[in-house]
Chain A
Amino acid sequence: MLKNILTSFSKTKASTLTLLDLLDQARAAVERAKERAEAIRRAPMDEAGAIARVDAWLDQAATSAIDRIGLEYATQPEWAGPSLPMPTFPGDTAPNAKPGLEVLLGLIALTSRDHLRAVIAGQIGDRLAGDPGMNSQTRAKRLAEAEADVLSAELTEERLVREMQASGLDVARRPDVPGVVLLAADTALPS
């Protein structure tokens, strides 16, 4: 596609309208490449990756709850059982229930981990609805390819803009052209 644009450009330098059409095509190619990259960024994670994140959260919530509830003070003679953290901050009239609720959630994660994990795994499966999702390595690889496509399309667009400006046409660049494209030497642009 990009090669076709440049081939057409070299054949039709005389026609301003054609040049503007080619620039429109180059810009459309940039947009499409950006959309592909964005679709990869937004693609859902695969089930194994999502479950691994849930496991990490369950670990963190359970550990944090145990750390905060202070059960180790059961060794102290005056210990009378744990209490949920419900601090009242300066200026507040009622205690803040959030820390206490987080501890409760952590204790549920600790004591009912397998059941909770199974429920969440079912929800993840329902949400993916047969979509295999994308693991981190695949996403990184495909994103690198998509970003290279974007850069390639932007370099093609830049070449058209420079040639048009050199031939006296008053053509403006997009405001979001990246610095590397703007500074690219003429020899680094596709021919």
Chain B
Amino acid sequence: MPNPAEITLDPQRLAALAAIARRSRATLSGVNDALHNLRDAKHDLARRLDLARATAAQSYAARQMIGTDGLPKGQTAGAFIAALEAQMADLAADLVVREVEQAEASDAYSAARANLKAAIAHAEASGLPMPTGIKEAA
């Protein structure tokens, strides 16, 4: 049976745990940025869709094609709006996936940070040398 007082401690473990915490923070940051970009894209697309619908409702000519505001030339309003709606559905699906990734990355970062804090507390209580830059990562 192991006795906590008899377990050999390795100060290098602090650096390994700090690296994991930094990596998981970078991952979370990346996922957050990606999610932010997707939300921006969804917002822009929603505006384009609103504009296209409004333009299409204005006139028969606009409904049929055409180079009026919000509608590209050579494409019927219905086809254009359907294409935008398809893009919107894809974006919404991507957002769901990214939100799950964000939750996972957030959990991983929280766990890594909690691990590093526990290790730092134990290292200090045990009188282990503290490498530079470790506490900043917690």
Where the two chains meet, the residues of A that have a C-beta atom closer than 8 Å to any C-beta of B are: 145, 148-149, 151-152, 155, 172-180, 182-188
Contact = CB atoms under 8 A, between A and B. Distances in A.
Interface string B1-35: 11110011111011001000000100000000000
Contact of A183 (B1, B108, B112, B119): B119
Interface stretch (B74-82, B87-95, B120-128): B120-128
A8 B123 CA distance: 32
A180 B121 contact: no
B7 A182 contact: no
B114 interface: yes
Given A155-B7, A172-B24, A185-B9, 11 more contacts: A145-B1, A151-B2, A172-B111, A178-B122, A180-B7, A182-B122, A183-B9, A183-B123, A185-B13, A186-B10, A187-B8
A174 B121 contact: no
Give the dominant DSSP class at B's interface: helix
Contacts, number: 72
15 contacts: A148-B3, A172-B24, A175-B114, A176-B114, A176-B118, A178-B118, A178-B122, A179-B118, A179-B119, A182-B13, A182-B115, A182-B119, A183-B9, A183-B13, A188-B7
A167 to B, nearest CB: 15
Nearest to B105: A172
Contacts of A151: 2, 4
Nearest to A148: B1
Interface size class of B (residues with CB under 8 A): 20 to 34
Contacts of B114: 175-176
Give the dominant DSSP class at A's interface: helix
A151 B7 CA distance: 10
B122 to A, nearest CB: 3
A185 B8 contact: yes
B4 A183 contact: no
Given A183-B9, A184-B8, A173 B1 contact: no
Interface in B56-109: 107-108
A6 to B, nearest CB: 14
A145 B2 CA distance: 10
A184 B122 contact: no
Nearest to A184: B7
Contacts of B125: 179
B110 interface: yes
A177 B118 contact: yes
